[in-house]
Structure 1
Amino acid sequence: MSEVQQGIEERVKRIITEQFIVDGLEPPSIASENRFDHDLGFDSLDCVEVTMCVEDEFDIYIDDTEMRGIETVQKLIDTVRAKI
């Protein structure tokens, strides 16, 4: 994995971790295979907030249709990589 790709993964995982802190929860260790709903317990609002933070962080746009298809941390990372 290149340094740039690794940096993207780390930044996405940091954003997800920060969402737990915003919600007042202790953040778990975030793994690429984690599902937002089942493994991380995110509801739709959490997913929207994470997506908005990712869009701001990477200066990209993820439309609603795409967002609904992002079920895992890895899929979010892959989406970011495809857009930058």
Structure 2
Amino acid sequence: MEFKKLQKIIAEVLGIGDMEIFQEMSFVDDLGADSLELFQILMGVEQEFDISIDEESLKDVDTVGDLLELIC
């Protein structure tokens, strides 16, 4: 369920289909996200899941799966 929500957020920000997003994909290398898009994804995640993600935690986030792990 969380993955579907995360897919939707990423798809909306990047303008791609949510079914094109997989957990092993890198935000930068595979999805082509820039720093502004990454910030928008983070804001969307914080709002959707009602959480706050600190900057230190983001240092280890490279893939969609990494972010999903952080959310869960």
Q: What is the TM-score with the length of structure 2 in the denominator?
A: 0.90
What is the identity percentage for the equivalent residue pairs of Structure 1 and Structure 2? 34
Q: CA separation in 1, counterparts of 2:2 and 2:14?
A: 19
- The DSSP-based 3-state class of the residue aligned with 1:40 is coil
Which of 12, 15, 18 pairs up with 2:6? 12
Deviation at 1:68, TM superposition (A): 2.8
Alignment partner of 1:64 is 2:58: no
Deviation at 1:20, TM superposition (A): 1.7
Q: CA separation in 2, counterparts of 1:69 and 1:44?
A: 15
Gaps of 5+ in 1: 1-6, 22-26
* Number of equivalent positions: 70
Gaps of 5+ in 2: none
Contact 2:14/2:33 (8 A) holds in 1: no
Q: Could you tell me which residue of structure 2 aligns to residue 24 of structure 1?
A: none
- Runs of 4+ that moved beyond 3 A: none
CA RMSD of aligned residues (A): 1.0
Deviation at 1:37, TM superposition (A): 0.5
Q: What is the TM-score with the length of structure 1 in the denominator?
A: 0.78
